[in-house]
Amino acid sequence: MSPREDATRERLHDALRERHEEIADRWVRLQLEQTDAVDLDEGQLRTEAGQLLAALTDGLSGETPVRHLFASHRDLRACVMELSLHRARAGASPTDTSLAVLCLKEALLEAMQYTTRDTAELFAAAVLINRLLDTAGALSFETYVEGREEIIRRQSRQLLEVSTPVVRLWRHVLAVPLIGTLDTARTQVVMESVLQAIQEHEAQVAIIDITGVPAVDTAVAQHLMHTVNAVRLMGADCVISGIRPPIAQTIAQLGIDLSTILTKATLADALAAAVRITDEPMPGADAHLTAAAR
């Protein structure tokens, strides 16, 4: 670090200490002017500004180069991340979020104006502040995106849970109505919840209803076979229902072998079959003997 930069940094530090209130106030007002779309709570903004400026003052008194200050100073980083996450959750746009951080530049520059009249010094201060806050802007943007992605992840997880209910249809009979496209992740969830429910309810038959599945390809068929095999390993039986004519055609055309699985056209048929299986007093003519055994 050059001595000149050191001096500028020192001056910025002093300005921050002396005009702490003023800078915070200016920054909050700038933010309020800029983001008219989202209703930001002014009190919240003031708390954020106070915390961030305190952390910044602390950071500037240290030795860390300004370029890395926001990324490496723990409190400062936490402040920026919290601020960005808060805005991401409140539904602010990414532009608003990073601009909110970047208008601290303006507030700081204005504060620096009072400390000196020398243009060269002011220029040095501007460069320093720019360097300092550019990383803050980038960090804020990154956090914003992460926050949004987390929301998306949470929603897709919720969707996954919502989309796979396991219902008890009859004594010892469970049904899983599947709606929407089946992919590996979803089949995994379906398989887990079916097996769990079988264990809980001591079910003997699980009906997988695919009426709501728009298309069946080899991958989906593979997943279904896996589920059926796992159910059989648990000692229960599996019926697949709701195979619509176009799906039956696809399955036949693709040459997928579902012959080892009991399939029915409608859920009603499947339920009838399931009740018949469970009504049998489980004699030697075992319902759940894997086909290959005999």
DSSP letters spanning 248-279: HHHHHHHT---TTSEE-SSHHHHHHHHHHHHH
Q: Does 232 bind other proteins (CB under 8 A)?
A: yes
d(C-alpha 121, C-alpha 31), whole Å: 27
CB of 181 to other proteins, least distance (A): 21
Residue in 109, 234, 247, 256 binding other proteins, rule: CB under 8 A:
234
230 binds other proteins (CB under 8 A): yes
What whole-number distance in Å separates Cα of residue 291 and Cα of residue 294? 6
Q: Does 231 bind other proteins (CB under 8 A)?
A: yes
Closer to other proteins by CB, 23 or 238: give it.
238
**Beta carbon of residue 188, minimum distance to other proteins (angstroms, whole number):** 8
Q: Measure the CA angle with vertex 126, ends 123 and 128; round to 5°.
A: 110
**109 near other proteins (CB under 8 A):** no
By CB under 8 A, which span of 11-19, 52-60, 207-215, 224-232 interacts with other proteins?
224-232
Between 151 and 233, CB nearer to other proteins: 233
Among 226, 247, 248, 258, binds other proteins (CB under 8 A): 226
State yes or no: residue 286 binds other proteins (CB under 8 A).
Answer: yes
H helices present in the chain, as ranges: 3-18, 20-34, 42-61, 66-72, 74-90, 94-113, 119-162, 184-201, 218-233, 245-254, 267-279
Type of residue at 31: Q
| x-or-dash string of contact with other proteins, 182-211, rule CB under 8 A | ---------xx--xx-xx--xxx-------
DSSP bridge pairs for 240: 208, 263
* Residue 174 in contact with other proteins, rule: CB under 8 A: no
Cα–Cα distance between 111 and 177 in angstroms, integer? 64
Partnered with residue 170 across adjacent β-strands are 173
Q: Is 224 in the site for other proteins (CB under 8 A)?
A: no
Instruction: Catalog residues that contact other proteins under the rule CB under 8 A.
Output: 191-192, 195-196, 198-199, 202-204, 226-227, 229-236, 282-284, 286, 288-290, 292-293
